[in-house]
Amino acid sequence: MKKKGEFFLEFEIDKITNSIENAISGEVFQTEITLLSLIDEKQINKKDWGFDWHSELVDNSKRIYKINTVENPNIIQGLVCLTDKGDHIFMDLIEAAKFNKGHKKLYLGVAGNLVAFVCKYSFELGYDGIVSFIAKTQLIEHYQISLGAKLFGRNRMFIDKKESLFLVKKYFKEFEL
């Protein structure tokens, strides 16, 4: 049974890239992922998002991170909300901006980059890269294939140490265990 405040995630891993890349030109852009603060809230234009990120931002038990390109730090490409569960990280929400979704998306790799960041954060906290989330039923196989995620329970999935390390090394070359 789904608990209050839990969402079934439906993010698309369009491509595991080295960063994020322009969907048309293939040009790769360096990214930075930083903690979203109340000051940054003005950068979240509701028309660009499917979720109410403002309500997540005021929940002190959660942390929200934003991804942007180094070249254009004022445009948020994607967001991820996570909770520290004491032995792993739970991804509450993850979303690419609307202009990074669908067949006319601007950048590839936004969701993959954010998931890799969450895995890295889990390693940094000493949780062996373990990340869990609740998936929409129709996307379970997609996450198994694209992320190496494993199913435990009806819709609950997790990314284990080996798969987590692969993602982290892909996006964060300097990362060492």
Res. 15: pLDDT tops 80: no
Domain that includes residue 63, residue range: 20-169
CATH number of the domain residue 38 falls in: 3.40.630.30
12 is a domain residue: no
pLDDT at 17: 65
Number of H helices, E strands in the chain: 4, 10
14 is a domain residue: no
Strand (E) or helix (H) holding 67: strand 63-69
**pLDDT tier at 24 (50, 70, 90 boundaries)?**
very high
5 is a domain residue: no
**φ and ψ at 131, to 5 degrees?**
-135, 135
3 is a domain residue: no
Count: domains in the chain: 1
33 is a domain residue: yes
Measured between alpha carbons, how far is 153 from 151 in angstroms, rounded to an integer?
6
2 is a domain residue: no
106 is a domain residue: yes
15 is a domain residue: no
Secondary structure of residue 63 in the 3-state scheme: strand
- Rounded to two decimals, the pTM is 0.89
pLDDT at 92: 95
